Structure 1
Amino acid sequence: MEALKTAEAAGAADGGAAAAAAAAAAVEAAPAAAAEPEAAAGKSEPAKDEARDEREHLNLVFIGHVDAGKSTFCGQILYQTNQVDARTIEKYQAEAKEKNRDSWFLAFIMDTNEEERAKGKTVEVGRAHFDSEKKRYTILDAPGHKNYVPNMIAGACQADVGVLVISARKGEFETGFERGGQTREHALLAKTLGVRLLVVVINKMDDPTVKWSKERLEPECKDKLSPFLKGCGYNVKKDGDVVFVPISALTAANVIQPFSEPGWIDGPCFLEVLDQLPACERNRDSALRLPILSKYKDMGTIVEGKVEQGTIRVGDKLCVMPNRVTVLQLWLDQEEVSYLIGGENARVKLKDISDEDIMPGFVVAPRGGLACPAVKLFEAQIRIVELLEHKSIFSAGYTAILHVHASAEESTIVRLTSSIDKKTGQRSKKPPMFVKSGAIVTCVIEVEQSVCLEPFEQCPQMGRFTLRDEGSTIGIGKVLALLDEAK
């Protein structure tokens, strides 16, 4: 299994000088590069690749409060879809028994390092693959503990579908959902990071405190969650963005095969729900945008990330700002392919660049006029979620960590430009001096080091962001306009 690591603010700051140079280099190179034929890379329809699997690919991020059973659920999916053999399972069962954690053996499939197995908590974002007859899936098993939310953000920013895992066990659901629990923050972050479809999995339905009780699912869990999810921006009506599925990850009930034993379950099982989800829109004809999540050396420079839009092909002449590069090889999951399109996880071997010149958050893009802008100043619209008790006013001078795609940067509010009426959506004529929790405001934000951004209307994944302060999410926002530093 691979493990993805997030770019923390400090790490992102280390690469700031290169990112700052990126903006200038991109501007200087633009006039000459615009005339090059490769500047239009990512604009034409790719030829069919006989070796490629043309089934739709979806990234699933598994989120929720710590101990909801996410890793066990992911492990069970892999076992039931024959991605893990029986001998390996027997080995994990023995290891779990040695640690007096008999029921954790399935979680060991995803939690591969000793710290995770000893504590029973996911720390990094585990990644694995499975498929059905209709689609291909990548599992992103995100940590549930509040200390590892930045790692969870790294997983969610790659996802197409969120799987919010809830523990039905008496007391556990309530702990995860009340203030301070990660159920709320994870659901909000998922929506902010572009996860438009949410499958809410009510796990541990076989627990002695639940015994597959329909009342525990509805009204107890569903009726509490639905209003909150609606407030996050999800459509919770029938045939909307949210689907509820009761399961038992430990026994595999209602995971891959329908489970009718209680008598009241008449909906599809978890895998059927995934297969029935509407196809995601992939902007394969747009200019390429591939934010880099990680990099390493392997007979050359390899970068990993998700193609947010456009198409990348072997032989493309692109830029990882500010460097010009050529694509030597491409991999989709473990298979080498000749091209990748929007929504697919990319592993790209590049020519003419060292891994030392790359930082998480840099973006692979076409050269010239279609390159991705890198800026320090921009105007944004922010919804203030919940400010800290000792910093209860949001005004000019407020500092926070800005998380956008794979970047994490120190940011400062330069000035508030207007407040927005929640009912009418109208902007105030006069800028407010300050706002408090629950407000919607437009403001100018400055980051310490240049960040690759685009207005939300042009490229949503490059224009939505989260503000976090002292380990808590205080605001979610979208980029309205990129500004010159002189403004």
Structure 2
Amino acid sequence: MPEENINETPKEISEEVETVDEEVIEDLFGKEHINLVFIGHVDAGKSTMGGNILFLTGMVDQRTMDKYEKEAKEQSRESWYLSWALDTNKEERAKGKTVECGRAYFETDKRRYTILDAPGHKNYVPSMIGGASQADVGILVISARKGEFETGFERGGQTREHAVLAKTSGVNKLVVAINKMDDVTVNWSKERYDECVSKLTPFLKGTGYNPNSDVQFIPLSGYTGYNLKDRVPKDACSWYNGPSLLEYLDDMQALDRKINAPLMVPIIEKYKDMGTIVVGKVESGKVKKGQNVVIMPNKHVVEVAAIYNELEDEVTSGSCGDNVRLRIKGIEEEECSTGFVVCDTQSPVKTATTFEAQLAILEHKNIICAGYSGVLHIHTCVEEVSISALLHVLEKKTGKRSKRAPQFVKKGQKVIARLETQGPICVETFEDYPQLGRFTLRDEGKTIAIGKVTKVIGNVTQ
């Protein structure tokens, strides 16, 4: 999507951009929509920060916050009350841990945002991957508190794994929120901030982020709200002159959206509510009420009876980047599943049980041979997969393929492999549709490899 001038009316913009129709540009509120995923180690303060943003932008009123504060005090959990705006179930509130990927919505004068509050605990990484697969921008929350940063960043901490998974899931912009700067062990110390930045920068660079263009570091306090919406007062922090978190997000360059590509909406959730409802992010194209679409891989042609936005309001259309709920006619709820994709009837997504991919082995104690199986996470799909053949090892420096097929690969190597799933899954090459062509391979609760699809073999769409 072209960079938006906030002062122009949607009509003026649409006259300049001939390739996109006026209805899509105008959007629901005439504002660009961005999906944010909050990631990071457990207890870094993700939910508290998200809850405070909802309060500061007026999405949660003072009365509701006072109620949460009173309830939290009764449970001797005073400092947790802000997180309750996002952590809504009893288990999450009792333990202070996010379990499911929470979802909330807020808007500023310039843009609309959806918060995807990912769980930090390593037991809930699959839920975190589900959240990251829908996001445009990652907010990596780091605790500056003495000991907490080190715990999250050391091997086994979730800071490292979450950053890798976010990159693999297609989150190409990262805001590193150095949180808890108001803590007594930190007290807005520039030395502590610089220490966190200097340790994180080389790691993020190794993960694939360009520190100069893809990463922004912001010191803040999710609990007091300093540097979330308004900048931190000079008497608290004299050395930081950069933007607050919301200032930075509002002024960020507009995202490139595939509005004119064929429709693709990977399903993240489905349920019954006076018919079948499917939930997902429009990864490409646009969808309109009354349109006939096909659900892959089952090839079910259905009608979009209604479209709902983040606020559960009914709208006439949704375009690339929007999180939508689609009420669909012509299919029962049990006939569609998470990982299926809602597509254009003329250009459906490819479906296959076999594909070739480039794999980077991140962590595995033993060597990996043909026959190895793990759990594949690709867009919203989670499926068992096995490596049926190792085809080429890639040289580290040149990226050249070996002529001879390797017998095995180990940690640190890159390989071209053939992968097979038990049933057909929706998949595209990384080159054509990055969001449907990048994946993570996990086993025994660990991320073993990240990869990108290079070739879809035996497309069964036709």
**TM-score (normalised: structure 1):** 0.88
Q: Displacement of 1:52 after TM fit?
A: 2.0
1:394 Cα deviation after fit: 1.4
Q: Give yes or no for contact 2:104–2:114 (8 Å, CA) kept in 1.
A: yes
Q: Which residue of 2 aligns with 1:271?
A: 246
Preserved CA contact (<8 Å) 2:351 2:459? no
Q: Which of 384, 390, 393 is the equivalent residue of 1:416?
A: 390
**Which residue matches 2:301?**
324
Q: Would the alpha carbon gap of residues 285 and 447 (structure 1) be closer, same or farther in structure 2, given more than 3 Å must change?
A: same
The answer to whether the Cα contact below 8 Å between 1:46 and 1:311 also exists between their aligned partners in 2 is: no
Partners in 2 of 1:394 and 1:276 — Cα distance?
Answer: 45
Deviations 1:328-363 (A, max 9, x none): 111221232211111110111111111111100111
CA RMSD of aligned residues (A): 1.4
CA contact (8 A) 1:383 1:475 kept: yes
2:426 maps to 452
Query: Does 1:93 pair with 2:66?
Result: no
Q: Which has the higher contact order (CA 8 A, sep 6+)?
A: 1
Q: Following superposition of structure 1 onto structure 2, how do residues 287-298 of structure 1 map, counting pairs within 5 Å?
A: 287-298=262-273
Q: Quick one: which amino acid aligns to residue 287 of structure 2?
A: I
- Residue in 1 that maps onto 2:58: 82
Write the letter of the residue equivalent to 1:251: T
- Distance across 2 between alignment mates of 1:314 and 1:58: 22
After TM superposition, the structure 1 = structure 2 runs for residues 35-434 of structure 1, keeping only pairs within 5 Å, are: 45-48=20-23, 52-218=28-194, 220-237=195-212, 240-259=213-232, 260-261=234-235, 262-321=237-296, 322-334=299-311, 335-368=313-346, 370-387=347-364, 389=365, 392-434=366-408
Shift, 1:448, TM fit: 1.3
C-alpha offsets along residues 216-239 of structure 1, whole Å, 9 cap, x if unaligned? 111x100110111001100002xx
Cα pair 1:46 1:339 within 8 Å, conserved:
no
Question: Matched residues in 2 for 1:159 and 1:424: separation?
Answer: 32
User: Structure 1: which amino acid aligns with 2:137?
Assistant: V
Amino acid at match of 1:394: I
Structure 2 spans left out of the alignment, 5+ residues = 1-18
Q: Deviations over 1:9-48 (max 9, x none)?
A: xxxxxxxxxxxxxxxxxxxxxxxxxxxxxxxxxxx84442
Counting aligned pairs with the same residue, the percent is: 54
The secondary structure found in structure 1 opposite 2:112 is: strand
Question: Structure 1 residues 485, 417: closer, same or farther in 2, change over 3 A?
Answer: farther
Alpha-carbon offset, residue 274 of structure 1: 0.6
Change in CA separation of 1:78 and 1:441 when aligned onto 2, cut-off 3 Å: same
1:100-136, Cα deviation, whole Å (9 max, x unpaired)? 1110000111111110011110000111111111110
How far is the alpha carbon of 1:422 from its aligned partner? 2.2
Are the aligned partners of 2:40 and 2:162 in contact in 1 as well (CA < 8 Å)?
yes
Give distance in 1, aligned partners of 2:408 and 2:256: 39
Matches of 1:188 and 1:314 in 2, distance apart?
A: 37
- Residues in 1 aligned to 2:215 and 2:459: alpha-carbon distance in whole angstroms: 41
SS of aligned partner of 1:428: coil
The answer (yes or no) to whether the contact 2:152–2:159 under 8 Å persists in 1 is yes
State the shift of 1:456 in Å: 0.7
Q: Name the CA distance, whole Å, in 2 between partners of 1:360 and 1:174.
A: 36
Work out the CA distance in 1 between the residues paired with 2:418 and 2:172. 27
Please tell me the residue identity of whatever aligns with 1:411.
V
Contact 1:363–1:372 (Cα < 8 Å) also in 2: yes
Kept in 2, the 8 Å contact 1:51–1:337? The answer is no
Report the CA distance between 1:54 and its aligned residue: 2.1
**TM-score, structure 2 as length reference:** 0.92
The number of residues matched between the two structures is 436
Distance 1:372 1:485 in 2: 9
Q: What one-letter code is carried by the residue in structure 2 that aligns with 1:294?
A: E
User: Partner amino acid for 1:241?
Assistant: D
Deviation at 1:85, TM superposition (A): 1.1
CA distance in 1, matches of 2:246, 2:59: 15
1:484 Cα deviation after fit: 2.8
- Give the structure 2 partner of residue 28 of structure 1: none
Matches of 2:27 and 2:219 in 1, distance apart?
37
* AA at the equivalent of 1:435: V
Q: Are 2:447 and 1:473 equivalent residues in the alignment?
A: yes
User: CA distance change for structure 1 residues 51 and 225 in 2, over 3 Å: closer, same or farther?
Assistant: closer
Moved more, 415-424 or 209-218: 415-424
Q: Which amino acid aligns with 1:417?
A: L
Question: What are the Cα deviations for residues 48-98 of structure 1, in whole angstroms up to 9, with x where unaligned?
Answer: 277821211000000000000000000010011111111111111111112
Deviations 1:372-425 (A, max 9, x none): 1211100000111111x3xx1111011110000111001100111101112211
Counterpart CA distance in 1 for 2:65 and 2:376 is 41
Deviation string, structure 1 residues 227-267 (Cα, Å, up to 9, x no partner): 11001100002xx1000000011111111001133110100
